[in-house]
Amino acid sequence: MRDKDYSLGTVPPVDYEPGKPPEGAGLTFLADFYKTDKGTIKHLYTPVYEEYFKLLRDKPISLLEVGVASGCSLKMWSAYFPKGKIVGIDNRKECAEMCKGYGRITITICDSRYVNFKELFDIIIDDGSHISADIVANYFALWPKLKSGGLYFIEDTNCTSNPGYINVFNGTRDARDFESINYTHWLDTMKQEMDAGYSRISSINEYGQLLVLKKK
CA distance 172 to 153: 26
Q: List the one residue out of 140, 58, 42, 63 whose CA is nearest residue 106.
A: 63
Compute the average pLDDT of residues 83-90. 98
Q: Is the pLDDT of residue 190 over 90?
A: yes
- In the chain the domains, ranked by start, together with CATH numbers, are 57-215 (3.40.50.150)
CB-based burial of residue 121 (10 Å sphere; 0-12 exposed, 13-18 middle, 19+ buried)? buried
CA distance 216 to 148: 6
Of the residues 35, 85, 130, 145, only one is catalytic, namely 130
SS3 sequence of 87-138 = EEEECCHHHHHCCCCCCCEEEEECCHHHCCCCCCEEEEEECCCCCHHHHHHH
181: confidence class by pLDDT, cuts 50, 70, 90: very high
CA distance 40 to 18: 17
| Average model confidence (pLDDT) across the chain | 96
**Is 185 part of the annotated catalytic residue set?**
no
CA distance 184 to 58: 36
> What SS3 class is residue 149?
strand
| pTM of the full structure | 0.97
- Which pLDDT score is estimated for 116? 85
Mind listing the pLDDT tens digit for each residue in 103-156?
999 999 999 999 888 899 999 999 999 999 999 999 999 999 999 999 999 999
Mind listing the pLDDT tens digit for each residue in 141-163?
999 999 999 999 999 999 999 99
End-to-end CA distance of the chain: 42
> What SS3 class is residue 146?
strand
Q: Is the pLDDT of residue 46 over 90?
A: yes
Lowest mean pLDDT among 3-12, 44-53, 125-134: 3-12
- Which pLDDT score is estimated for 145? 96
- Which pLDDT score is estimated for 31? 98
Q: Judge whether 120 and 145 are in contact, CB under 8 Å.
A: yes
